[in-house]
Amino acid sequence: MLYTDCIGSNLEEVWSRCFNLLVRVYGPFTM
């Protein structure tokens, strides 16, 4: 479900979405 948001036409947009998503999900756990 989460990775579906990472799909896009522009690579930069994809990486930005995936990075922001990972930060929101794994941010609290890594700190």
1-31 confidence digits (pLDDT tens): 455 555 556 677 778 888 888 888 887 776 6
The predicted model scores a pTM of: 0.45
Q: What is the DSSP string of the chain?
A: -GGGGG--SSHHHHHHHHHHHHHHHHHHHH-
pLDDT at position 7 is 57
Contact 21, 7 (CB under 8 A): no
Contact 5, 24 (CB under 8 A): no
pLDDT at position 1 is 42
| 21 residue type, one letter | L
Question: What Cα–Cα distance (Å) separates residue 6 from each residue in 10, 31?
Answer: 10, 23
